[in-house]
C-alpha cells in the first residue's frame, strides 16, 4: 500500500503562511514590548507553533475533500480572529476575552467608532486565507496528504513537542506565567494569540464553575485580609459633612487629569473645572487613578458602587449582572435615599438595565427619556449640553434626599464634534484621536458649567454635593507618540503610562468653605466608602477594598486591574519598580542569604511586599464576584 506524501502538503503551507502573517501583526501592528533577544525569539516562534498544531489536525481526515475543507475554513476563521483582535487592540491596547464575545449586543451601538478603527490595509490579513482557499480548491490532489496512522501520530506528536518547547521557554522567561497571568500581553507575547484564547477559554470555564461550588467558607479569610490591610480605625474629619444632602455624581466620560490646568495653543482646555479647583467649597484630588478593566465606563460604575475591583476579563455588568451585591444605592436606601441614573443611551448597553436592579438603583432614565434628534446628537448619542438640560426636570421630580448619577457621552472615542459646538482648535499631531480629544473635553467642560448654573437656578444646588469623576482614560497607549509631543517628553515610558491613568476627582460641597487640593494617592475603589462617610453612614462588616479619601490612616497603595500599583513611594508596572516622585527605576535590594543559594545574597524588588498584597486583593475581589459570595452575607447598617 502506498501513501501520498507531497513535498509541501497544504497544511504545512497554511501553517507557514498563517504563522508569518501573525508574526507580522505581532511585530508591526501590536505594540508589544520586547526586552531581550529571548523574548524576540519566543514571539517569532509561537505563531508558527500554534499554526502547525491547528493545521496538523487536518491529517486525521481520511477524505481529501474534508481535509481541504478543514484547512481553508480554519485559515479563514483564524484570520477573522486576528482581525478582530487587531481592531480591538487599536482602541484598548488589549486582547479580546471570551466574556467580551458575549457582549455583542454592544456592537450595534458602536457605529462610527468601529469604522475609525478599521484600516483599508487590513484586507491584507485575509490574503493568505484567500490563497489557501484557492489552492485547496484547485490543487487538492497535489497538496492533500494520506498518511498512515504512524504518520498522523508523528505529525501530532511533533506539534505537541513544539508546543511544549514554546511553553518551556515561556516559563523560563516569565516564571509563573499561567498562575499570575494578570497581563494579557505577557500571555500573547509568550504563548501566542491562539494559545492565549485557548487559555482564556479554560480560565472562563473554571471561573464559571466557581459559583456552583462556592459555599461561603471563603469569606472569613477575605474579611481577615480586609480588617488587617484595608480598614481604618478612625472616621475621617469629613464624616457626616454632607449628612442629609443630595448627591449628584457626574461620571465624566474619558476625562483624564493631564488636561486639567493645561492648554492647547494658549486656550485652556477646561476653564470651568480649573476655576472649580480654586473654589473654597471644592476638594480636588490630583493623584486619583482610574482602575477599570475591559468594561470601561461600566467598570468605573462597578468600582464606585461596590468598592470591589472589576474583573480582568470582560465586564462585570455583563458576566455577573445577576449577582448579589451590597452596593451603595442599596445601603443608602435604608437611610431614606432615592437613587437614579441618567444616561442617554440604550438600556441594554453594558446590560445596565439588569445590573442596576442588582445594585438597587430605583430609577434609570435611559435613551427613551430624552428627546434625541439629529441636531442635538453626535457620535454615541445625545450631546452633553442638551443631556443635562433635559435631565433637570427628572432631577426635580426625585424624592429627596437622592443619590443621582449622570453619565456623559460626548467626550467619547472617536471624539467627534460639530464645528458649531467647537470652542477651541484641535491639536496638531499624527493622531486624530488625540487632536480631537481637546475640543471634545472643552465641550464637556462647558456642559458641566451650564449644569451648575441649572442646578442653582432650579434651587437644587445648595442642598446637594456634586462629585465629578473621570471614568477611564480616553487616549490609549497607541497614541503615545502624539502624547509625548503634547506633553513635551521624549517618549512615554511605562512609568508615564501609569501616570496617565490619573483622572480628575472633584468633591464640591456648597457652603463648606474648606476646600483644598489633596495629593494623596487615591482611586475609584475609594468612592463608596467616601460617599458613605460624607453622608454620615457607617456600615457594619461591609466588604470594601477602598478607604475614605479623607481618611488619615489609609492603606498604602492603589491597585490597577492589571496588577500594577501606585503607592506613596513607588510605582510598579511591567515588573519594574519606580520611584513615584522621580520616575526612575529602583535597583533591587539585598535581602538575605540562604543555604540553598550557597550563601549568595538574594535580591528583592522594593515593590515586592506591596505587590503581594495587590495580587491577593485582586484575587479576593475576583473570588467574591465569581463565587457570588455576597449571597451568603446578611449586611447590617448602623447610624
| Catalytically active residues, by annotation | 297
DSSP reduced 3-state for 495: helix
Q: What is the dihedral of CA 290, 295, 299, 301, to 10 degrees?
A: 110
Distance CA(454)–CA(431), nearest Å, equals 36
According to DSSP, the β-strands at 505-508 and 282-285 are antiparallel
Residue 393 burial by Cβ neighbours in a 10 Å radius (0-12, 13-18, 19+): exposed
Which cell numbers hold the place of 324?
Answer: 448579589
Residue indicated by cell numbers 527605576: 585
Cα–Cα distance list, 491 to 21, 114, 260, 475, 498 (Å): 29, 28, 21, 15, 14
Residue 207 burial by Cβ neighbours in a 10 Å radius (0-12, 13-18, 19+): buried
The number of beta carbons lying within 10 Å of the beta carbon of residue 22 is 24
Backbone angles phi, psi at 367, to 5 degrees: -55, -35
Residue 565, strand partner residues: 559, 572
Q: Which residues, at least 6 apart from 462, have a Cβ–Cβ distance to it below 8 Å? A: 510, 511
Which cell numbers hold the place of 621?
Answer: 475581589
Distance CA(417)–CA(171), nearest Å, equals 48
DSSP code per residue over 438-482:
HHHHHHHHHHHHHHHHHHHHTT-STTEEEEEEE-S-SS-GGGHHH
Distance CA(409)–CA(246), nearest Å, equals 23
**Under 8 Å between Cβ of 552 and 586:** no
Amino acid at each position: 500500500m502506498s501513501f501520498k506524501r507531497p513535498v509541501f502538503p497544504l497544511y504545512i503551507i497554511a501553517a507557514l503562511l498563517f504563522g508569518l502573517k501573525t508574526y507580522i501583526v505581532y511585530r508591526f501592528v501590536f505594540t508589544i514590548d520586547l526586552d531581550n533577544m529571548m523574548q524576540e525569539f519566543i514571539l517569532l516562534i509561537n505563531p508558527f507553533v500554534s499554526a502547525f498544531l491547528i493545521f496538523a489536525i487536518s491529517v486525521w481526515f481520511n477524505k481529501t475533500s474534508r481535509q481541504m475543507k478543514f484547512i481553508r475554513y480554519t485559515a479563514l476563521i483564524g484570520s477573522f480572529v486576528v482581525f478582530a483582535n487587531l481592531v480591538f487592540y487599536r482602541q484598548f491596547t488589549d486582547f479580546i476575552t471570551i466574556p467580551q464575545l458575549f457582549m455583542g449586543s454592544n456592537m450595534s451601538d458602536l457605529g462610527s467608532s468601529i469604522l475609525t478603527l478599521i484600516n483599508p490595509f487590513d484586507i491584507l490579513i485575509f490574503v493568505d486565507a484567500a490563497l489557501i482557499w484557492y489552492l485547496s480548491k484547485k490543487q487538492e490532489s497535489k497538496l492533500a496528504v494520506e498518511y498512515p496512522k504512524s504518520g498522523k501520530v508523528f505529525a501530532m506528536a511533533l506539534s505537541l513537542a513544539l508546543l511544549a518547547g514554546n511553553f518551556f521557554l515561556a516559563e523560563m522567561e516569565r516564571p509563573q506565567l499561567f498562575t499570575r497571568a494578570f497581563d494579557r500581553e505577557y500571555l500573547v507575547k509568550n504563548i501566542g494569540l491562539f494559545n492565549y484564547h485557548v487559555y482564556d477559554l479554560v480560565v472562563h470555564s473554571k471561573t464559571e464553575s466557581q459559583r456552583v461550588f462556592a459555599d461561603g467558607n471563603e469569606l472569613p479569610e477575605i474579611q481577615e485580609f480586609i480588617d488587617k490591610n484595608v480598614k481604618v480605625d478612625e472616621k475621617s474629619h469629613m464624616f457626616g459633612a454632607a449628612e442629609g444632602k443630595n448627591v449628584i455624581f457626574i461620571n465624566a466620560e474619558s476625562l483624564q487629569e493631564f488636561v486639567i490646568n493645561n492648554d492647547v495653543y494658549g486656550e485652556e482646555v477646561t476653564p470651568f473645572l480649573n476655576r472649580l479647583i480654586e473654589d473654597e467649597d471644592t476638594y480636588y484630588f490630583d493623584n486619583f487613578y482610574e482602575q477599570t478593566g475591559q468594561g470601561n465606563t461600566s467598570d468605573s460604575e462597578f468600582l464606585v458602587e461596590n468598592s470591589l475591583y472589576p474583573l480582568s476579563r470582560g465586564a462585570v455588568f455583563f458576566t455577573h449582572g445577576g449577582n448579589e451585591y451590597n452596593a451603595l444605592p442599596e445601603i443608602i436606601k435604608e437611610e431614606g435615599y432615592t437613587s437614579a441614573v441618567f444616561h442617554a443611551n440604550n438600556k441594554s448597553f453594558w446590560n445596565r438595565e439588569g445590573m442596576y436592579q442588582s445594585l438597587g438603583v430605583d430609577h434609570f432614565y435611559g435613551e427613551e427619556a430624552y428627546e434625541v434628534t439629529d441636531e442635538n446628537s453626535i457620535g454615541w448619542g445625545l450631546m452633553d449640553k442638551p443631556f443635562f438640560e433635559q435631565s433637570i426636570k427628572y432631577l426635580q421630580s426625585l424624592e429627596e434626599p437622592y443619590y443621582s448619577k449622570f453619565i456623559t457621552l460626548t467626550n467619547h472615542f472617536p471624539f467627534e464634534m460639530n464645528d458649531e459646538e467647537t470652542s477651541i482648535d484641535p491639536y496638531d499631531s499624527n493622531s486624530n484621536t488625540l487632536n480631537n480629544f481637546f475640543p471634545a473635553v472643552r465641550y464637556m467642560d462647558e456642559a458641566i458649567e451650564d449644569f451648575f448654573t441649572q442646578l442653582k437656578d432650579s434651587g437644587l444646588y445648595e442642598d446637594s454635593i456634586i462629585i465629578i469623576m473621570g471614568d477611564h482614560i480616553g487616549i490609549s497607549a497607541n497614541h503615545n507618540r502624539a502624547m509625548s509631543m503634547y506633553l513635551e517628553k521624549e517618549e512615554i515610558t511605562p512609568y508615564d503610562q501609569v501616570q496617565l491613568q490619573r483622572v480628575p476627582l472633584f468633591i464640591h460641597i456648597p457652603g463648606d468653605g474648606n476646600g483644598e487640593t489633596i495629593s494623596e494617592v487615591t482611586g475609584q475603589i475609594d468612592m463608596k466608602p467616601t460617599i458613605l462617610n460624607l453622608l454620615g453612614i457607617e456600615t457594619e462588616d461591609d466588604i470594601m477594598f477602598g478607604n475614605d479619601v479623607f481618611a488619615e490612616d489609609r492603606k498604602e497603595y492603589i491597585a490597577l486591574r492589571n496588577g500594577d500599583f501606585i503607592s506613596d513611594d513607588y510605582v510598579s508596572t511591567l515588573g519594574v519598580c519606580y520611584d513615584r516622585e522621580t520616575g526612575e527605576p529602583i535597583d533591587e535590594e539585598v535581602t538575605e542569604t540562604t543555604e540553598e543559594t550557597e550563601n549568595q545574597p538574594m535580591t528583592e524588588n522594593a515593590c515586592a511586599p506591596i505587590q503581594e498584597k495587590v495580587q491577593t486583593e485582586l484575587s479576593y475581589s475576583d473570588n467574591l464576584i465569581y463565587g457570588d459570595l455576597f449571597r451568603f452575607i446578611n449586611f447590617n447598617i448602623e447610624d
